[in-house]
Each structure stands twice: as structure tokens, then as C-alpha cells.
Amino acid sequence: MSDINYIVNDFKVIPRITAVTKKINLVGQTREQLKEKLTLVGVLDKQLNMRIKQIWHWIYFRGVRNFDEMTNLSKSLQQSLAENYSIDVPEIIEKQESSDGTRKYLVRIIGRHEVEVVYIPEEDRGTLCISSQVGCTLTCSFCHTGTQKLVRNLTAGEIIGQVMLVKDDLNEWPKNTDTQEKKPRLLSNIVLMGMGEPLYNFENVRDAMKIAMDPEGISLSRRRITLSTSGVVPEISRTASEIGCLLAVSFHGTTDEIRNNLVPINKRWNISTLIKALREYPKASNSERITFEYVMLKDINDSDADARRLISLIKGIPAKINLIPFNEWPNAPYKRSDKARIKAFSDIIHNAGYASPIRKPRGEDIMAACGQLKSSTQREKKSSAVMKKELGIN
């Protein structure tokens, strides 16, 4: 079979670009990339902006997956698009619902890899926790994902695809243009707190979040998206300038000695380097505080002295401290701090003038809580030599 044959659309005769190769997925393409794809199938320059607007609306506002449903495109354009491109999102292979309404999805991406996506409904919002990598290169000792080798980065399409497949499951695509903003959104917030380190897959995460924020599509406010990092210092300022979403930092330890053990990336960028980057984070203000995530581990990082050190470290940074009771997983080397200890820790921080909510564990019965996610793709623990090499430690 020949690679090149010819198709005719409204305007000109052009070569078909993918006769034998797999079709290119339009999900995850930025507007600029979409422009190229449309040019390739012969859309004329003067029609490009209009066509992008129409196709964007169908894919990201209406949730359409077939070109023949895009009724304001000519039949011939629908046909050339269908011959060359696809509109694909990852496939749900398993769905579990917790007694508290939390839904955990196991989804399959190309290469038969799997990632987990969690939807957490609350009274005033519905938060989707999405993954940015299959596994993680980092090896935080309290995190289940950290026991799994990095398999690969997700593409922008696979990242925004997680949002789209959950909108499918919640049946949250408007049937027509009028109905959208009238009822509260079921999926109103995104947190990049699933599997992986988002700042080690910066470009794909950025492109996907830009799509999520685009006002002509899914249209989530940048203030409803939170990116959580373990502390990849060189990429922190780009998060503000190129994405503009809120930032959360997995802090977890108040001395380098403790943090080196819990979050080994601290050996590369230590607490003072991290704090300096956060102080300079351009978006931090009282209305857009940085969230410090702090996992409560019994007798490891939960003393009054830790709470006081934390306060002195973050002095001057508009911050909120999210205390996360440790979510246990099979054979985990830590225990969750007692309730009374967590409360005492929270009170010290609160009395110093910072919000210090204790995160309510959700979806525990289905292992859907933070740090419990793990796919079955790879279960091998990284050797410490490989880990040291990645972190640049001799």
C-alpha cells in the first residue's frame, strides 16, 4: 500500500498525510498546532481561525468525538479530518466508587500503560486529581507512586484527556450552548496531585492546562487549577509565567535531614533554595497563596518543634498549610500521626496566623487517597544508585 494518495476537500486537492501510519490525535494540540494540522488538510489561510474556533468548540465545549457530528463543517472537510485525524481520550478500564462518593478510574493509555484519576465531589465543588506521568522518577519514601519506576511522561492529550473522560462519565458536556453556565459544575477544580512530578513534564502539563483554561472550551479559571510539586526549583517560576495556575509544594519536613529522607529531591534543592524560589514566586499574594502540603507521619515530622520551625521558615510568604494525615498503603514504612497530635500541630500554625486545614481523607476504602495511586505497569523499586544519578548526588 502506498503512503501517499490523494483526497479532495472543498478547496484543493491535497495529499492524504496518513495512509498507513496511525492517525494524529487532535486532543491535546494547542491552537497553534491545530492550525498546522488544518493547513495540512487544505484549509485555506483565510478560513483557519474560523475553523479552529468551530472545531475547538466541538471538541472541548461539546465533547464531540466524531467529525461527522461537527455539523457546521462541510461534509468534505469532515471527511478529510476523519481520514487523517482522530479525537481520542484514554480508555477507562476500571471504575470504583467509594462510600463517600469519590470515584477512582484506572485508565489505559497508548503502550498499554495505566494511570489513575480520582474525582472527589464536595458540597461546593468537584475536584479532579489527575496524573502527569506513569510512575515517578522521584522516590519519596511515604508515597506509593514513588515505589514505582517512571515509565513515561504523559502527552498533553493524555493529560487533558483525563479531564474529558471524567466529563464523559459525569455526563457534563452541554447538549446545547445555552445550558452550560446555569447549573454548578460537577467538575470545577483540577489538582495535579495524581501520579508523577508535573514539573518534570512541564511542556505537556502546560499545554494541557492551557486547554483546560481556554474560555471557548472547558473554561476553568486558572485559580481552580493547582499544580503540586515536590520542589523542582528551576521550573517553579515558569509555572507562574507560562501556566498561571496556583502552586502547591510538598514540604513535609522542616530540616534538611528529615526532608532528605522524605522527599529525596531535597538533596538536589534543599529547603533554603526552595524557600527562596517560593519567596520569589511572582503570583504569591494574599489572594493566591502558596499551599504547603505537609503529610503527618507519626513521630517523624509531627512535633511542636516541627510546627514552630515550619512557621519560621515560611515567614513572609503568603501561605496556607494543608495537613495531610498519612494515607497508609500495604507495607508502608510509616504510621499516620494521632488525631490529637495533628490537631495540636494545626493549632500552633493557626495561632501564628496561617490557615492550617486538616485534609479529610477521601476514598480510603478504594485506595484513592493522595499518594496511594499506583498502576500495575511497573512495580519495581528504583535502585539507590539510579536515584542518586538522577538527583545529581555523588
Least distance between ligand SAH and beta carbon 6 (Å): 48
How many other CB atoms are found less than 10 A from the CB of residue 203?
A: 11
Per-residue contact string for residues 271-310; x = within reach of ligand SAH by CB under 6 A: ----------------------x-x---------------
Nearer to ligand SAH, 25 or 266 (CB): 266
Nearer to ligand SAH, 61 or 345 (CB): 345
Judged by CB under 6 A, the chain residues 170 through 229 that form the site for ligand SF4 are 196-197
Judged by CB under 6 A, the chain residues 228 through 267 that form the site for ligand SAH are 228-230, 250
Active site residue 370: yes
- For the chain, report the end-to-end CA distance as a whole number of angstroms: 53
Contacts (Cβ under 8 Å, ≥6 apart) of 47: none
In single-letter form, the type of residue at position 210 comes to: K
Closest among 199, 207, 267, 258 to 230, alpha carbons compared: 199
DSSP letter at 390?
H
User: Does 143 contact ligand SF4 by CB under 6 A?
Assistant: yes
Nearer to ligand SF4, 136 or 187 (CB): 136
Angle between helices 304-314 and 271-279 (to 10 degrees): 40
Grid cell, residue 232, equals: 523542582
Judged by CB under 6 A, the chain residues 309 through 338 that form the site for ligand SAH are 324, 326-327
User: Does 230 contact ligand SF4 by CB under 6 A?
Assistant: yes
Judged by CB under 6 A, the chain residues 21 through 80 that form the site for ligand SF4 are none
Catalytic choice (116, 197, 293, 328): 116
Active site residue 140: no
- CA-CA distances (angstroms) from residue 232 to 86, 193, 241, 391? 34, 15, 15, 11
Say which entry of ligand SF4, ligand SAH, none residue 164 contacts (CB below 5 to 8 A, set by partner kind).
none
Angle between helices 304-314 and 339-351 (to 10 degrees): 30
Grid cell, residue 60, equals: 472541548
Grid cell, residue 82, equals: 476523519
Q: What does the binding site for ligand SF4 look like in residue numbers (CB under 6 A)?
A: 136, 138-140, 143, 145-146, 196-197, 230, 250
User: Where do contacts with ligand SAH occur on this chain (CB under 6 A)?
Assistant: 140, 142-143, 193, 196-197, 228-230, 250, 293, 295, 324, 326-327, 370-372
Which amino acids are annotated catalytic?
A: 116, 370
